[in-house]
Amino acid sequence: MNEISRRTFFKRTLASIAASTLVLASGNKTVEAGDTVQYGTFIDLTRCDGCAGKDVPACVNACREKNQHNFPQPQEPIQPYWPQTKFEDWSRKKHLTDKLTPYNWTYVQPVEVKHNGKTFKLNIPRRCMHCDNPPCANLCPFGVHNKTKEGAVVIDRNYCMGGAKCRDVCPWDIPQRQAGVGIYLKMAPKLAGGGVMYKCDLCIDLVKKGQEPSCVQACPQKALIFGEKEEMRKLAHRRAKEISGYIYGEKENGGTSTFYVSPVPFDKIHKSIMAKKKQAPKPERIGIPGMKPAVENYLDSANGTLAGYLIAPVAGAFAAGITAIKTMKGEE
Q: How many other C-beta atoms are found inside a 10 Å radius of the C-beta of residue 302?
A: 7
* The pLDDT value given to residue 163: 87
- Name 225's bridge partners: 42
Please say if the pLDDT value at position 314 is more than 90. Answer: no
Q: Residue 145: which H helix or E strand, with range? A: strand 145-147
The CATH number linked to 161 is: 3.30.70.20
Residue 307: CB atoms within 10 A of its CB come to 22
What is the structure's pLDDT at 255?
A: 98
Alpha-carbon gap, residue 299 to 134, rounded angstroms: 9
Considering just the CA atoms, what is the radius of gyration of the chain in Å? 20
- In this prediction, residues 60-81 reach a mean pLDDT of 93
- Is the predicted pLDDT of residue 299 greater than 60, yes or no? yes
Mean pLDDT score, 37-59: 97
User: Which residues constitute the domain of residue 217?
Assistant: 44-329
With CA atoms as reference, report the closest residue to 167 among 159, 158, 178, 176.
176
Domain count, the chain: 1
Cis-peptide, bond into residue 220, ω within 30° of zero: no
Residue 10 lies in a domain: no
Residue 307: inside a domain, yes or no? yes
Contact (Cβ atoms closer than 8 angstroms) between residue 246 and residue 252 = no
What pLDDT score was predicted for residue 142?
A: 84
pLDDT in tens, 206-218: 999 999 999 999 9
Residue type for position 260: Y
- Tell me whether residue 31 is in a domain: no
Q: What sign has the CA pseudo-torsion 259, 156, 19, 311?
A: positive
Q: What is the mean pLDDT of the chain?
A: 86
Angstrom distance (rounded) from CA 326 to CA 332: 7
Q: Decide: 41 and 224 in contact? Cβ < 8 Å.
A: yes
CB contact burial 13-25 (16+ within 10 A = b; e otherwise): beebbebbbebbb
98: in domain: yes
Q: Is the pLDDT of residue 9 over 60?
A: no
176-194 pLDDT, tens digit each: 999 999 988 888 777 667 8
Q: What is the pLDDT of residue 22?
A: 45
- How far is the CA of 137 from the CAs of 25, 32, 106, 279, 312, in angstroms? 12, 13, 20, 32, 11
- Answer yes or no: is 32 within a domain: no
- 272 found inside a domain: yes
Confidence of residue 2 (pLDDT cuts 50, 70, 90): very low
Indicate whether 51 pLDDT > 90.
yes
Integer angstrom CA distances of residue 147 from 100, 277, 311: 21, 30, 18
Q: So what's the pLDDT on residue 291?
A: 98
Q: Which pLDDT does position 323 carry in this prediction?
A: 57
3-state SS class at 95: coil
C-beta neighbour count of 27 within 10 angstroms: 20
Helix (H, G, I), strand (E, B) or coil at 119: strand
| Position 36 in a domain | no
d(CA 236, CA 44): 8
Q: How far is CA 131 from CA 10, 136, 146, 293, in A?
A: 33, 9, 11, 15
Lowest-pLDDT range of 77-86, 167-176, 203-212, 238-247: 77-86
**pLDDT band at residue 84 under the 50/70/90 scheme:** confident
116: pLDDT strictly greater than 80: yes
Does pLDDT of 331 surpass 90?
no
* Dihedral class, residue 180 (left if φ above 0, else alpha if ψ from -120 to 50, else beta): left
* 28 falls within a domain: no
